[in-house]
Structure 1
């Protein structure tokens, strides 16, 4: 992308940052809006938090709802997707013998969440192995449905997976879960601002996504989406001023005039809401910079870099192109000490990228955002070629021109 766009981010110039997927990165104009909210809060905390905040919170709720195809009344602000999914996991009335059906591609923090819930309730997690490489929606869906039994109470899936950067085709699995009376819980940490969403149409019972990754808000901005019919199942992790004893009544009003779902989750006493309040500014930033074109450029750069590395390694991709996340790709590398490679990439080459082992695969997970460039991809491939002793002749054949 252009140097001008790269200069709009706050990232260090001495680091090649190829890990947007982990924590995101915030453009300077959006970050300045964030700081302005913080200064406004500190200038008169009682007015900001006590008299104005309830109305202010509605504005980003409506803005993000329009972006993700949802009614604003079905969304509550949380600090991250893990927090939102914990609200769901710890609220559902599971009992001994109940099963949570999931896959072998899930995020480790949520694997721990469900393990914790099972310890408390006596339920159990059932993990199905997704056919790899992922090249067929039918094979994926058939595998998920085959794992459903009369004991299955929860279907938990990532929309875009963290370790493997795959876009799971979850629509038919969610529909089947609904037919069987199974709650569908979707980890959408990597989806808002990354792929198009229409959450009300998708029909998942619960869906939590981050705004501070690909939508590029400051850290601590995310949402929990819940269908109206299941909002009454949820209890906030923190009981505070927003909770009422009528919180399970879907027709009731919450303590601050919103639904019990929104007020119970959002009103937790003193905290800084500034990251959430910047959601409209982040959406506006994307519009002003023609982000659809930026994303298309990033997708091409990500896929081209993955192709060039495949020509160096001879290793097959984890999926066909339609199931690879547009701006994030898990690239197989030869067997190695992944922790050491990760360390050397940063210490020797100043390249920030996750390198890890997943099942039998050794992976470098590349994220490409608008501040990245072709020379940075060249630097990554040069570094991996040296560290992994990939043959230069094969690298030249990959088309570095």
Structure 2
């Protein structure tokens, strides 16, 4: 399976690429469609951007909304999830003393986003520490709900965490936030194409995710989803042709005939829309290649690799299997110089993989996609065994062997 799929990707053959989670990778047929859209734009840019863009941009919304369990009116195409979450964070009416409740597993760029918002508004971030290892849904949810107060205005959670690759069971926390009148804002950067999403059923007020990671669309394709009742709260970061001073009440029409939520965010000056327009091709590629079966194979390979490394290090996993992202897993390793280990893995073994320290835990974060193989996992285990001296029986350390 992996050898055949590997030929369908553009990943360099001299690199063992185990870091799909950071930026994704685009299959050749999808990338070809992306280039077709770019060529069409260049052949008649006035017609493409000036006369046809509103209708052209609608088609990916329809396809993606169907895939994600919502309607085209609740979703808008953007360049990345960080942008989507910034739009939300900087739109909400926060005041001094208001609290944003979040966890100690969040993506650093969004930690900075909320710090910026707090500096501007006088609100404050409250960070709850998720009990580790994460073994039960109640363990997570009870911790989140216990952190809610009458000052909590925003609940900000990752669906799949970036540093720890955990699949947070966020459903009950979102429902409790709704009952208390707390806005729920979900960072779904790693989620679309990784797990099955039913956005309307999930019920988050705001949800932003990337299509360029596990959905395998080109870089620069993402979305923001908002419930109809809260779309009127959103303001664009850039005021351009899509902006209107008309009412933002549900049912209102924007400058180009969609809702203001869509038109104000979609039409923000000249940009290359080709990545977003290629999302339907990425969805077709997944269907044509039975991607559910591919994902099941990748999930098994990821769990097996983590178990094998755990047997060599003697370190426990960060969570029960059901709370680990299916194709991405954070594997604890002994205390070491993580920067040196990352460099040595690449320089000596050509393995591209994130290695870092999260809180007090050194981590190797493994991503397994359809182009990866069991021999690559074997190489990773052997490389870590060598570089960390896991066979020596003494305290593990970075090997000095050259």
Offset from partner CA, 1:7-52 (integer Å, 9 cap, x none)? 0000000000000000000000000000000001000000111111
Find the counterpart in structure 2 of residue 214 from structure 1. Answer: 214
Find the counterpart in structure 1 of residue 372 from structure 2. Answer: 372
Find the counterpart in structure 2 of residue 303 from structure 1. Answer: 303
Find the counterpart in structure 2 of residue 79 from structure 1. Answer: 79
Find the counterpart in structure 2 of residue 119 from structure 1. Answer: 119
Offset from partner CA, 1:223-257 (integer Å, 9 cap, x none)? 00000000000001111000100253333101000
SS of the residue corresponding to residue 167 of structure 1 reads coil
- Please list every run of 5 or more consecutive structure 2 residues that lacks an aligned counterpart in the other structure: 395-402
Find the counterpart in structure 1 of residue 139 from structure 2. Answer: 139
The answer to whether residue 29 in structure 2 is matched with residue 23 in structure 1 is: no
- Matched-pair contact (CA < 8 Å) for 1:247–1:261: no
SS of the residue corresponding to residue 195 of structure 1 reads coil
Find the counterpart in structure 2 of residue 10 from structure 1. Answer: 10
> Matches of residues 246-325 of structure 1 in structure 2 within 5 Å?
246=246, 248-325=248-325
SS of the residue corresponding to residue 301 of structure 1 reads helix
Find the counterpart in structure 2 of residue 237 from structure 1. Answer: 237
- TM-score by length of structure 1 reads 0.97
Offset from partner CA, 1:98-143 (integer Å, 9 cap, x none)? 0000000000000000000000000000000001000010111000
The answer to whether residue 223 in structure 2 is matched with residue 223 in structure 1 is: yes
Deviation at 1:289, TM superposition (A): 0.5
Could you tell me how far apart the structure 1 residues matched to 2:295 and 2:149 are?
A: 40
Find the counterpart in structure 2 of residue 342 from structure 1. Answer: 342
Find the counterpart in structure 2 of residue 37 from structure 1. Answer: 37
- Matched-pair contact (CA < 8 Å) for 1:95–1:122: yes
Could you tell me how far apart the structure 2 residues matched to 1:393 and 1:351 are?
A: 25
Offset from partner CA, 1:46-82 (integer Å, 9 cap, x none)? 0111111111111110111111101110001110000
Find the counterpart in structure 2 of residue 397 from structure 1. Answer: none
Could you tell me how far apart the structure 2 residues matched to 1:187 and 1:50 are?
A: 32
Aligned residues: 394
SS of the residue corresponding to residue 232 of structure 1 reads helix
> Matches of residues 69-108 of structure 1 in structure 2 within 5 Å?
69-108=69-108
- Please list every run of 5 or more consecutive structure 1 residues that lacks an aligned counterpart in the other structure: 395-401
> Matches of residues 148-167 of structure 1 in structure 2 within 5 Å?
148-167=148-167
Could you tell me how far apart the structure 1 residues matched to 2:322 and 2:308 are?
A: 18
Could you tell me how far apart the structure 1 residues matched to 2:247 and 2:192 are?
A: 28
Find the counterpart in structure 2 of residue 65 from structure 1. Answer: 65
Could you tell me how far apart the structure 2 residues matched to 1:76 and 1:246 are?
A: 19
Deviation at 1:393, TM superposition (A): 8.9
Could you tell me how far apart the structure 2 residues matched to 1:192 and 1:66 are?
A: 12
Could you tell me how far apart the structure 1 residues matched to 2:246 and 2:392 are?
A: 68
Find the counterpart in structure 1 of residue 198 from structure 2. Answer: 198
Could you tell me how far apart the structure 2 residues matched to 1:211 and 1:290 are?
A: 18
CA root-mean-square deviation: 1.1
Could you tell me how far apart the structure 2 residues matched to 1:164 and 1:259 are?
A: 37
Could you tell me how far apart the structure 2 residues matched to 1:328 and 1:90 are?
A: 30
SS of the residue corresponding to residue 90 of structure 1 reads helix
Deviation at 1:4, TM superposition (A): 1.6
Could you tell me how far apart the structure 1 residues matched to 2:122 and 2:166 are?
A: 31
- Matched-pair contact (CA < 8 Å) for 1:327–1:368: yes
Find the counterpart in structure 1 of residue 382 from structure 2. Answer: 382
Could you tell me how far apart the structure 2 residues matched to 1:136 and 1:125 are?
A: 25
- Matched-pair contact (CA < 8 Å) for 1:247–1:264: no
- Matched-pair contact (CA < 8 Å) for 1:299–1:368: yes
Deviation at 1:378, TM superposition (A): 0.8
Could you tell me how far apart the structure 2 residues matched to 1:345 and 1:364 are?
A: 11
Deviation at 1:328, TM superposition (A): 0.2
Find the counterpart in structure 1 of residue 398 from structure 2. Answer: none
Find the counterpart in structure 1 of residue 397 from structure 2. Answer: none
